[in-house]
């Protein structure tokens, strides 16, 4: 049965904010688009992190299907099971933002984390999805820090994240990374902002 809270929330919150269209002409966007692949240690494993490409679309869909309904709901604020064709395009097009595929060496995707361009030239929006059996192992923090560092180096001033208020674990997570809550027009959603110029080198 559908949780009535989820049904009500999905009627008022878009499943995914659409990134800005157009080629990457802003030098900040171009700089962010040059983020390179890397390998990072997490709890009990090492994962590869690299920018997505169009060939990843089938694996991105499979990752979503492996995630629980709760995990997908926390990511998209709706009952979405798989990304739409338009969403997959946004997740793999450098003109829309930068999304990072996370996977074990030679293994399937276990996470997808990205920064989508917005209407505000100095602001990008954070989105994070980690497979249930990989949550709590440090992937989210490692990849978010990598993206925050990259956004600041590229010249962006803010990173926003929109979270379901009942997802206290996610709210606590971004708060530990020094994001602060903004005014809440909807009590069911918490919008958090990372002010990148306030970070020191020790964190990002």
Report DSSP letters for 68-111, one per residue.
Answer: -HHHHHHHHSS---S--HHHHHHHH-TTTEEEEEEE-TTS-EEE
What CA–CA distance (Å, rounded) separates 190 from 88?
25
Place of tokens 């996610």: 170
pLDDT at position 186: 82
The tens-digit pLDDT sequence of the chain (204 residues) is 445 444 444 443 334 444 444 444 789 999 999 999 999 999 989 999 999 999 999 999 999 999 999 999 999 999 999 999 999 999 999 899 999 999 999 899 999 999 999 999 999 999 999 999 999 999 999 999 999 999 999 999 999 999 999 999 999 999 999 999 987 778 889 999 999 987 655 554
The confidence score (pLDDT) of residue 201 equals 55
Question: Sign of the C-alpha dihedral, residues 81, 163, 29, 37?
Answer: negative
pLDDT, position 200: 59
């Amino acid at each position: 049965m559908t949780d009535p809270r989820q049904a009500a929330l999905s009627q008022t919150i878009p499943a995914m904010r659409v990134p800005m269209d157009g080629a990457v002409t802003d030098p900040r966007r171009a700089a962010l688009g040059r983020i390179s692949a890397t390998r990072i240690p997490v709890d009990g494993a090492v994962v590869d992190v690299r920018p997505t490409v169009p060939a990843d679309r089938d694996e991105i869909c499979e990752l979503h299907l492996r995630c629980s309904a709760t995990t997908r709901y926390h990511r998209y604020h709706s009952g979405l099971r798989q990304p739409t064709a338009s969403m997959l395009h946004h997740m793999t097009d450098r003109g829309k933002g930068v999304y990072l595929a996370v996977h074990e060496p030679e293994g399937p995707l276990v996470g997808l984390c990205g920064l989508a361009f917005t209407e505000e030239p100095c602001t990008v929006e954070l989105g994070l999805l980690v497979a249930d059996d990989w949550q709590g192992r440090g992937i989210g923090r490692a990849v978010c820090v990598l993206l925050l560092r990259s956004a600041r180096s590229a010249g962006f001033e803010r990173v926003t994240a929109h979270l379901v208020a009942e997802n206290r674990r996610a709210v606590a997570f971004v708060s530990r990374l020094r994001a602060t809550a903004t005014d809440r027009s909807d009590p069911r959603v918490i919008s958090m902002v990372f002010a990148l110029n306030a970070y020191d080198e020790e964190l990002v």
